[in-house]
Structure 1
Amino acid sequence: MGSSFGKIFKIHTYGESHGPALGVVIEGCPAGLNIDESFIQAELDRRKPGQSKITTQRREADGFEILSGVFEGKSTGTPISILIRNQDQKSKDYSHIADKFRPSHADYTFQAKYGIRDYRGGGRSSARETVARVAAGAIAKLLLQHYGITCQSYVSQVGALKLEKDYTELDLSKTEDNILRCPDPEIAEAMISLIDETRKNRDTIGGIITGVIKGTPAGLGEPVFDKLHAELGKAMLSINAVKGFEYGSGFEGVKLNGSEHNDAFYKEGEEVKTRTNHSGGVQGGISNGQDIYFNVAFKPVATIMMDQESINEDGDSVTVSGKGRHDPCVVPRAVPIVEAMSALVIADYLLISKANRL
């Protein structure tokens, strides 16, 4: 249960952090799509560990194998299966917490739910599971490219350091120019220094990623339970360490009156536009054709290199000490994950929309 996502463009992920491999099965991808394997690898490289001094030093090439659903470089319309093998597991790093519950991890809740858990890196609850999502998201991106739709994300906040510029003021093509993945080089350097300082203090820090979806046609989404923004929220909140989601004006919108917040329509040629975009490209749960933008809040990584009080499986008081290789801040590597989940949502609703009317 809970390992599948989507309705028509549907994915099912499998595997554990310290198992032999992780993978994904993708259903509903239309036949005839060019599957650019170099693009898929590039997306996986953006997420993989060991990229810089501000990420975990686990070394995984994250090379992938396509096992089915692709022939002569094109999708066949049948399920696409992708496998990513683990190569740099160090399970011994977790032997000291085999019977202990790490604070703010899924150790206790997994034990409560299943009566058994894989303590090696958290098993299925590990953020390593997202490698499968990024592989699937790369194929969703290839589908969206066919329709002129792009999903981009960038780091907009680390701790209390916030990029005050709106996404419309930024050159998002510069996002990959630094190890933080922030398109503003000045604030990026300050954020990198903050993360590095936090790492040296054996602690962790949180942050915010801003997502921007451009080129979405009007009419995607459903008016009641399956609203487009609700599905985007579900997608983002399913990512490890995410604590919050807001789209459009979000919580800041409560400061405005209706006369200020309403997005007035106008027509430019044959295209309907809005003069402002407080709605974030979604109205009534359905896309209106404007940019969709949102923020995703990530908590500080739960594993810290300090002693912490906790209990073991018998309920005895214990001390938990962080060991191994962990991210001091998750947001630099989470940028492609946010993009992947965005692409999966939009690809799914795009295919659903084709069944809604003649």
Structure 2
Amino acid sequence: MVVNTFGKLFRVTTFGESHGPAIGGVIDGCPSDFKLNFQQIQKELNRRLPGQSHIVTQRRETDKVHFFSGLYDNKTTGTPIGFVIYNQDQKSKDYLHLKEVYRPSHADLTYMKKYGVRDYRGGGRSSARETTTRVVAGSVAKQLLKKIRIHAFVSSVGPITLNKSYKELDFSHIENTPIRCPDEKIALDMISFINKIREEGDTIGGIVSCVIQNVPIGLGEPVFDKLHADLGKAMLSINAVKGFDYGSGFIGTQMRGSTHNDLFNPDATSTQTNFSGGIQGGISNGMDIYFRVGFKPVSTIMRTQPSVDYSQVQKVLVEGKGRHDPCVVPRAIPIVEAMAALVLVDSWLLNQISRDERNTYHANRSYRDWKN
């Protein structure tokens, strides 16, 4: 595979497999002379941890990140930042029965057809464990974007939906329950529903909503690198994501233009409504950016399903074993926030340099040169 890098100026390359010795990454293009908060990075990783509650996979990993380069005296040097997270709780034997079997709705067949080989242990590179490295890089990006606030939360699980505007919610309540829904009553309903689904040996999908506040005007590079296009690509690159919409989204297709248009306030620096979702013409307009990310049900279920073996002739029966999430959305929260931060910091860096400079931009530009 050659496309394991995300970003243009702030670039993140990830490596590793679910059941390999480690996963890790390299962050290139981070400005120099910026002091990192390592406790904050670990805090973000802990939000994604497996085994953190009874409604997620019980795989036990500490996910302690180890940095090997690009730092001196806890400050960035402008050179590549290398890091690694060691895998500690692999149970590859749980996958032996799948060694020569294609699992329904997994990446088994497509990886085999494309590369001629696949790592059957936990899905190998196609495993969502790869997203741990994105959380590390996203936490660095978040720290660079000091004034911007990114809040993701679970807004639906199956048919249970939080039917409130984000403006009615208190984001400080997101972490109060293991489902990470800021409405406690709805959160309890979601948890009960997931428990029921799990007891049935099944899985369920859901929606993660994200709100980005204090975004400056001017982020986004039309026409092909519009801000919402980059956000969409980032979110759709996350495992199990099936859909992305922002602002009014598909509901906007049912509205008339006279209602959907965001009329300017007298100062012309804000609008009366925000159906645009903080982005117009592919460029941030200073209003809140908000979007939704749809996650499918986890493909591995604890039920017997028909499938085929490598010969694609012999029919077989497969059943999930081991430790798996009955619903991925609670642990997807820090991943969604991380990918949003990576898009924004990349766009912000692009915006700090003139168009004439862009072909000769050097990644070792000091943080103090552009932070204000």
TM-score interval w.r.t. the shorter chain?
Answer: over 0.9
What are the Cα deviations for residues 31-72 of structure 1, in whole angstroms up to 9, with x where unaligned? 111110000000000001001110000000000101111111
Aligned to 1:153: 152
Separation in structure 2 between the aligned mates of residue 2 and residue 292 of structure 1, nearest angstrom: 28
The offset of 1:2, in angstroms, is 1.8
Aligned to 2:5: 4
What are the Cα deviations for residues 230-285 of structure 1, in whole angstroms up to 9, with x where unaligned? 110000000000000000000000111001001111244xx700110000000011
Matched, 1:189 2:224: no
Separation in structure 2 between the aligned mates of residue 27 and residue 262 of structure 1, nearest angstrom: 40
Separation in structure 2 between the aligned mates of residue 357 and residue 240 of structure 1, nearest angstrom: 34
Structure 1: unaligned runs, 5 residues or longer: none
Aligned to 1:163: 162
Aligned to 2:360: none
The offset of 1:124, in angstroms, is 0.2
The offset of 1:357, in angstroms, is 5.8
Separation in structure 2 between the aligned mates of residue 251 and residue 149 of structure 1, nearest angstrom: 26
Matched, 1:294 2:295: no
Give the 5 Å matches for 1:58-77.
58-77=59-78
Give the 5 Å matches for 1:230-245.
230-245=229-244
2:282 to 280, 285, 290: 285
What are the Cα deviations for residues 1-21 of structure 1, in whole angstroms up to 9, with x where unaligned? 221000001100000000000
Identity level (%): 60
Number of aligned residues: 354
2:339 to 323, 341, 346: 341
TM-score (normalised: structure 1): 0.98
Structure 1 residue identity aligned to 2:154? V
Give the 5 Å matches for 1:218-229.
218-229=217-228
Q: Identify which range, 257-266 or 115-124, moves more after superposition.
A: 257-266
What are the Cα deviations for residues 204-237 of structure 1, in whole angstroms up to 9, with x where unaligned? 0000000111111111101211110011000000
Give the 5 Å matches for 1:230-269.
230-268=229-267
Structure 2 residue identity aligned to 1:90? K
Aligned to 2:56: 55
Q: Once superposed, what is the RMSD of the aligned Cα atoms?
A: 1.0
Q: Identify which range, 215-224 or 100-109, moves more after superposition.
A: 215-224
What are the Cα deviations for residues 181-213 of structure 1, in whole angstroms up to 9, with x where unaligned? 000000000000000110111100000000111
Separation in structure 2 between the aligned mates of residue 190 and residue 131 of structure 1, nearest angstrom: 28
Aligned to 2:311: 314
Structure 1 residue identity aligned to 2:341? A
Separation in structure 1 between the aligned mates of residue 334 and residue 266 of structure 2, nearest angstrom: 34
Q: State the SS of the aligned residue for 1:273.
A: coil
